[in-house]
């Protein structure tokens, strides 16, 4: 009943309220030990007159039935937390109300966790077993369900879950922080109340007479994070202060009153400007740019408060405060509809990551935390951009504007008041960074399908797919060819050479579904095929065929040819030996009009180090010859001679001539480089 009351309070709708009332029914066996099946539940809902809405009730309830507790099913062994949670997420993608009801149910369970001892005692459970079970439930709550509540914008629910769970997970830390908080509150109570009264009068004078001002103490777990993660305390052992334990909550009638209240308060108390505070604790406007979970607020610190020092102030209007309480379940349709696609994508990715995994609890908590945390990044003008953890510089660019994203060629980050280059546009942004995006000087679109696998936000992926979809086929093919070339060069096989091999033809026919070469490149260009994954599949295909081949312990001979460079090749040949290549032999051969450096190469073919070549060549031999040539070509470029040389794999006839020449040279006391 309490769960249904919370569903009502959070405005989830009549279907979700009905689901909350009966969510435990399918899991609880009757006197005969039988559970109610989903089919039977559907029939009962129809009899009760639910009609179409009964389907949604059924969908929500089905998602809440734990793995292994469905009627008529058997589960061998005990399902892992990851498998149980993955099923809940799968249903949460379609019915977010299922996850919300689970959060309400978990809150009820945590409020009554002390009662677990009495129930278990009746079953003769030991104190150690009861304690371990409480800690397991609390840890799951703290590291799985509380982060989901926070991501959903249900912050009051999140904070209550955190404190209830933290008490069991780290009881000593909980008691210590609770005591220090109470000391700080008692020592500054009068000064804090005086400040609140002063602010009320200040807002009345500013024309915001109906504003509500209250002093709010921070939760225990929130303080734990501030002390351990955000490092606000200046030195170890310092006691908590009023700055740590309090914030002032200002609730104004309408959004237009928020900047007026901000101006009035910062006119009475100076806006804090302290270098030791993290940037997000100076002043943040989340009204113009809402947080990822949709929350809107003005948050800032003021200084020089009599008897207190510094104090955090949070301003919201009535609507924002309501959304602060109920989060994504808000009745404001534009917020709900804008957030649901984001969270469905988030839940889907997390569910896929956890599906069929037998993760230890610590691994599960780490993965959930990775998906549910966000970072704040700043534009050069100080605007805050909120992104999921792991988001790239390009995700940041897209959050600024689609055109900035599509034309981004480089970026810079602010370090000690100086702009320094960012190494990689696909690298992850970090908390509190200021980033400047540089567009193409000629304002050309430079976006590539190769970006797709690395982008973390739906907005960036959709923008890139939309751009790619509108390109001419020839351009898409070129993009696909470039992507395949980049991926193939990890194995020393360029795309132009690869697509002309019989190996590529066989791969398309047997592995890639018989797609035509042009269509294959178009699919990579559109981003529907990932070039890196395709090359990995080619590697596996090559390895399977390679194991069936007969090998010879010889090498491919590659000629590096330079005109009019007599004498230089001896030095270059020696340099090759220090590049770490898999060279079997290095020899200089004098040929009329051209000086040649001959290198015998046994290439690492698609990751297979074998020291030999395929007998008779064939489709694999062709790939090996490409690799041998590419390896030497890249080495020439590294030595600074790549522009002025020709590189080719010698045919068998020339190799025989070379070996005879080498033999004659040795008999006459000539030089040979090894």
| Whether pLDDT at 671 is above 50 | no
Among candidate residues 546, 570, 593, the one where a domain is terminated = 546
More confident residue, 606 or 86: 86
Among candidate residues 294, 311, 330, the one where a domain is terminated = 330
Same domain, yes or no: 560 and 532: no
Same domain, yes or no: 36 and 133: yes
- 129: which residues sit within 8 A by CB, 6+ positions away? 120
> Domain range spanning residue 274?
174-330
In 3D space, the residue among 549, 527, 505 whose CA is nearest the CA of residue 450 turns out to be 527
Does the CA dihedral 657-662-665-670 come out positive or negative? positive
What percentage of the chain has pLDDT greater than the value 90?
17
In 3D space, the residue among 41, 91, 82 whose CA is nearest the CA of residue 63 turns out to be 91
Task: Report pLDDT digits (tens) over 455-506.
Answer: 887 778 888 988 988 889 998 898 889 889 988 888 888 899 899 988 899 9
Task: Report pLDDT digits (tens) over 421-443.
Answer: 998 999 888 877 889 999 999 99
> What local confidence, expressed as pLDDT, does residue 234 receive?
38
The answer to whether residues 252 and 217 touch, using CB atoms and an 8 Å cutoff, is no
3-class state of residue 274 by DSSP: coil
> What local confidence, expressed as pLDDT, does residue 163 receive?
94
Residue with tokens 């660019």: 397
Task: Report pLDDT digits (tens) over 551-564.
Answer: 665 566 677 776 65
- Using alpha carbons, list the distances in angstroms from residue 610 to 68, 111, 327, 547: 49, 63, 59, 11
> What local confidence, expressed as pLDDT, does residue 132 receive?
85
In 3D space, the residue among 411, 452, 403, 451 whose CA is nearest the CA of residue 429 turns out to be 411
Q: Which two tokens stand for residue 570?
A: 């001896």
Whether 462 is in a domain gets the answer yes
Q: Residue 651: how many CB atoms within 10 A of its CB?
A: 10
Whether 636 is in a domain gets the answer yes
The answer to whether residues 612 and 602 touch, using CB atoms and an 8 Å cutoff, is yes
Burial of 192 per CB tally in 10 Å (0-12, 13-18, 19+)? buried
Whether 427 is in a domain gets the answer yes
> What local confidence, expressed as pLDDT, does residue 95 receive?
79
Range with the largest mean pLDDT of 7-21, 42-56, 116-130, 157-171: 157-171
Whether 556 is in a domain gets the answer yes
Phi, psi values for residue 429, rounded to 5°: -80, 160
Same domain, yes or no: 481 and 446: no
> What local confidence, expressed as pLDDT, does residue 81 receive?
73
> What local confidence, expressed as pLDDT, does residue 160 receive?
93
Phi, psi values for residue 312, rounded to 5°: -85, 140
Same domain, yes or no: 310 and 437: no
- Using alpha carbons, list the distances in angstroms from residue 595 to 572, 585, 637: 12, 17, 18
Whether 361 is in a domain gets the answer no
| Whether pLDDT at 33 is above 70 | no
Same domain, yes or no: 36 and 165: yes
Same domain, yes or no: 201 and 285: yes
Helix (H) or strand (E) holding 613: strand 613-614
Same domain, yes or no: 395 and 495: no
**Angle at the Cα of 42 from the Cα atoms of 40 and 43, rounded to 5 degrees:** 65
More confident residue, 48 or 233: 48
d(CA 605, CA 623): 8
Strand 298-305 and strand 309-317: pairing? antiparallel
Task: Report pLDDT digits (tens) over 71-123.
Answer: 555 544 566 677 777 777 777 777 788 888 888 889 998 998 887 655 555 55
Q: Which two tokens stand for residue 384?
A: 């805050």
Phi, psi values for residue 158, rounded to 5°: -60, -45
Predicted TM-score (pTM) of this structure: 0.59
> What local confidence, expressed as pLDDT, does residue 213 receive?
92
Same domain, yes or no: 94 and 215: no
Phi, psi values for residue 213, rounded to 5°: -120, 125
Q: Mean pLDDT, the chain, as a whole number?
A: 77
For position 557, which CATH number holds?
3.30.70.260
The CA R_g of the chain, rounded to the nearest whole Å, is 33
The long-range contacts involving 175-181, CB below 8 angstroms and separated by at least 24 positions, are 177/220, 177/223, 177/224, 177/227, 177/240, 178/220, 180/239, 180/240, 181/217, 181/218, 181/220, 181/223, 181/240, 181/245
- 37: which residues sit within 8 A by CB, 6+ positions away? 26, 70, 71, 72
The answer to whether residues 165 and 107 touch, using CB atoms and an 8 Å cutoff, is no
What percentage of the chain has pLDDT greater than the value 70?
71
Whether 565 is in a domain gets the answer yes
Q: Which two tokens stand for residue 581?
A: 């290549």
* Least confident window among 140-149, 196-205, 286-295: 286-295
Mean pLDDT throughout 565-576?
Answer: 61
| Whether pLDDT at 387 is above 90 | no
Task: Report pLDDT digits (tens) over 290-324.
Answer: 776 667 888 888 887 777 778 889 999 998 888 88
> What local confidence, expressed as pLDDT, does residue 220 receive?
92
The long-range contacts involving 590-593, CB below 8 angstroms and separated by at least 24 positions, are 593/563
Residue with tokens 């498998």: 83
- 139: which residues sit within 8 A by CB, 6+ positions away? 165, 169, 361, 365
d(CA 277, CA 280): 8
* Least confident window among 98-112, 217-231, 338-352: 338-352
> What local confidence, expressed as pLDDT, does residue 212 receive?
92
Task: Please give the tally of structural domains in the chain.
Answer: 5
Task: Report pLDDT digits (tens) over 187-198.
Answer: 888 888 888 899
Residue with tokens 């949070």: 314
> What local confidence, expressed as pLDDT, does residue 193 receive?
86
Helices (H), 358-401: 361-372, 393-400
3-class state of residue 378 by DSSP: strand
Same domain, yes or no: 212 and 307: yes
Same domain, yes or no: 219 and 321: yes
For position 73, which CATH number holds?
1.10.3210.10
Whether 382 is in a domain gets the answer no
| Whether pLDDT at 394 is above 90 | yes
3-class state of residue 480 by DSSP: helix
Same domain, yes or no: 427 and 284: no
Same domain, yes or no: 111 and 216: no
pLDDT grade for 670, boundaries at 50, 70 and 90: very low
Does the CA dihedral 607-608-611-617 come out positive or negative? negative
3-class SS letters over 185-244: HHHHHHHHHHHHHHHHHHHHHCCCCCCEEEEEECCHHHHHHHHHCCCCCCCCCCCCCHHH
Whether 370 is in a domain gets the answer no
* Least confident window among 260-269, 360-369, 419-428, 532-541: 360-369
> What local confidence, expressed as pLDDT, does residue 326 receive?
77
Among candidate residues 517, 546, 575, the one where a domain is terminated = 546
> What local confidence, expressed as pLDDT, does residue 203 receive?
92
3-class state of residue 582 by DSSP: coil
């Amino acid at each position: 009943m309490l769960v249904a009351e919370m569903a009502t309070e959070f405005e989830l709708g009549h279907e979700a309220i009905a689901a909350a009332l009966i969510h435990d029914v399918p899991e609880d066996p009757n006197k005969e030990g039988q559970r109610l099946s989903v089919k039977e539940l559907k029939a009962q809902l129809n009899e009760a007159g639910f009609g179409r809405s009964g389907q949604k009730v059924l969908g929500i309830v089905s998602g809440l039935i734990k793995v292994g507790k469905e009627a008529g099913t058997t589960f061998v062994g005990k399902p892992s937390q990851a498998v149980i949670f993955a099923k809940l997420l799968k249903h949460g993608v379609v019915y977010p109300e299922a996850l919300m009801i689970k959060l309400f149910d978990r809150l009820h369970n945590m409020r009554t966790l002390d009662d677990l001892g009495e129930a278990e005692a009746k079953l003769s459970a030991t104190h150690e077993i009861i304690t371990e079970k409480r800690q397991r439930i609390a840890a799951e709550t703290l590291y799985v369900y509380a982060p989901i509540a926070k991501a959903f914008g249900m912050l009051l629910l999140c904070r209550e879950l955190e404190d209830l769970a933290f008490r069991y997970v780290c009881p000593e830390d909980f008691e210590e922080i609770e005591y220090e908080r109470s000391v700080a509150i008692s020592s500054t109570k009068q000064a804090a109340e005086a400040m609140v009264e002063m602010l009320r009068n200040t807002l009345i004078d500013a024309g915001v007479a109906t504003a509500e001002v209250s002093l709010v103490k921070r939760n225990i777990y929130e303080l734990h994070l501030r002390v351990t993660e955000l490092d606000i305390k200046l030195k170890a052992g310092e006691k908590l202060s009023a700055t740590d334990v309090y914030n002032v909550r200002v609730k104004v009638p309408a959004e237009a009153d928020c900047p007026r209240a901000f101006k009035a308060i910062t006119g009475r108390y100076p806006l804090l400007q302290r270098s030791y505070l993290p940037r997000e604790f100076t002043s943040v406007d989340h009204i113009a740019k809402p947080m990822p979970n949709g929350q809107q607020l003005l948050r800032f610190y003021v200084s020089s408060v009599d008897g207190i020092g510094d104090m955090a102030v949070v301003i919201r209007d009535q609507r924002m405060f309501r959304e602060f309480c109920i989060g994504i379940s808000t009745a404001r349709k534009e917020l709900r509809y804008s957030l649901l696609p984001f969270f469905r994508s988030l839940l889907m990715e997390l569910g896929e990551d956890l599906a069929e995994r037998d993760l230890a609890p610590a691994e599960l908590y780490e993965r959930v935390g990775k998906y549910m945390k966000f970072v704040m990044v700043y534009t050069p003008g100080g605007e805050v951009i909120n992104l999921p953890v792991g988001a790239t510089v390009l995700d940041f660019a897209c959050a600024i504007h689609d055109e900035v994203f599509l034309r981004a060629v480089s970026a810079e980050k602010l370090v000690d008041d100086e702009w320094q280059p960012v190494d990689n546009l696909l690298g992850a942004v970090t908390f509190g960074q200021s980033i400047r995006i540089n567009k193409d000087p000629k304002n050309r679109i430079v976006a590539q399908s190769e970006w797709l696998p690395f982008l973390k936000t739906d907005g960036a992926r959709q923008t890139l797919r939309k751009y790619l979809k509108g390109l001419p086929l020839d351009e898409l093919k070129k993009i696909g060819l470039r992507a395949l070339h980049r991926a193939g060069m990890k194995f020393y096989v360029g795309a132009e050479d690869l697509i002309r091999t019989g190996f590529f033809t066989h791969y398309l026919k047997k592995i890639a579904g018989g797609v035509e070469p042009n269509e294959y490149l178009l699919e990579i260009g559109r981003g529907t095929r990932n070039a890196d994954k395709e090359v990995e599949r080619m590697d596996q295909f090559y390895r399977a065929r390679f194991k069936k081949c007969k090998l010879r312990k010889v090498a491919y001979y590659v000629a590096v040819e330079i005109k009019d460079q007599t004498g230089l090749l001896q030095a270059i040949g020696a340099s090759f030996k220090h590049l770490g290549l898999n060279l079997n032999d290095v020899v200089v051969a004098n040929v009329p009009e051209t000086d040649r450096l001959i290198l015998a190469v046994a290439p690492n073919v698609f990751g297979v180090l074998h020291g030999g070549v395929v007998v008779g060549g064939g489709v694999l031999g062709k790939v090996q010859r490409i690799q041998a040539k590419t390896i030497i070509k890249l080495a020439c470029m590294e030595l600074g001679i790549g522009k002025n040389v020709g590189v080719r794999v010698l045919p068998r006839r020339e190799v025989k001539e070379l070996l005879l020449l080498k033999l004659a040279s040795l008999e006459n006391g000539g030089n040979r480089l090894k």
